[in-house]
Homo-oligomer: A and B are copies of this chain.
Amino acid sequence: MATETEENYIKAIFKITEKNQGTANTNAVAQHLNTSPASVTDMLKRLSEKEYFHYEKYKGVYLTTKGIKLATNLVRKHRLWEVFLVDKLKFQWDEVHDIAEQLEHVDSDELITRLDTFLGNPKYDPHGDPIPNADGKFTLRSQTSLMNLQKGETGIVVGVRNHDTPFLQYLNKICVNLGTKISVVNNIDFDHSKEVSIDDENRVILSQKACVNIYVKKTND
């Protein structure tokens, strides 16, 4: 069994490699985990001996099958616990990350199997991120950034790109959540912001930055 620290390293490497052509370098890992690059180097040496990833001095790391399996299982556990916290315990989507970060390290396959069943085998977490199944497979979904919706088009919010608390709380305030219907009323060209209507009720101006971070599924209305 991997220690909690080891799990956190592997998860960090997984997240970094996802957005970086399959490799993670020392500094990126250090930044992600809020530790010193020196500590990371030490750890990379030790963990690569345990075959979670390949490590070459000065070249960074890339995960092995074993490492990917561990990482996706952690993602699975994290996201299932987030569903539990929001659906069952009525937390808001901006409050669950830190708690799920702890819960994901609880070690029991049976627990996760049963939790999954209890929650109704959800495919997406409270931020719209896909929950890998027990084999590590993600269910992908056709989605686009709200930025890509033209004037007059409508979509249903299915996810967010940014997970930071302030952004999520802002969305709470303007009543945007998963499942919310958003229609583009006007494109404001000079700063690429959009005037949108939310659930056919409120009209709001969303900045380019906000639009980029909201994923929607286009609808025909």
Assess the B114–A106 pair: CB atoms within 8 A.
no
Query: In the bound complex, how far is the Cα of B95 from the Cα of A95, in angstroms?
Result: 30
Q: Which residues of B contact A199 (CB under 8 A)?
A: none
Among A85, A99, A103, A106: residue with most chain B CB under 10 A: A106
**Are B106 and A90 in contact, CB atoms less than 8 angstroms apart?**
no
Taking CB atoms and an 8 Å cut-off, the chain A residues in 72-114 that contact chain B are 85, 88-91, 95, 98-99, 102-103, 106-108, 110-111, 114
**A114 engages B89 (CB within 8 Å):** yes
A106 and B99 form a contact (CB under 8 A): yes
| B115/A106 in contact, CB under 8 A | no
- Taking a contact as CB atoms under 8 Å apart, the answer to whether B114 and A107 are in contact is no
Q: Is the CB of A108 within 8 A of B99?
A: yes
Question: Which residues of chain B are near A58, meaning CB under 8 Å?
Answer: none
**A190 within 8 Å of B by Cβ?**
no
CA distance A14 to B111 in the complex (A): 28
Q: Are A111 and B90 in contact (CB under 8 A)?
A: no
**Contact across chains for B102 and A106 when beta carbons are under 8 A apart:** yes
Which one of B91, B106, B114, B118 lies within 8 Å of A103 (CB-CB)?
B106
How far is B99's CA from A95's CA once the two chains are assembled, in angstroms?
A: 24
* B89:A115 contact, CB within 8 angstroms: yes
Q: Which residues of B contact A108 (CB under 8 A)?
A: 98-99, 102
B118 contacts A99, CB within 8 Å?
no
Chain B residues with CB below 8 A from A114, complex form: 89-91
A residues near B (Cβ < 8 Å) are 85, 88-91, 95, 98-99, 102-103, 106-108, 110-111, 114-115, 118
Given contacts A95-B110, A102-B106, 8 further A-B contacts (CB under 8 A): A88-B118, A89-B118, A90-B114, A91-B110, A99-B106, A102-B107, A102-B108, A103-B103
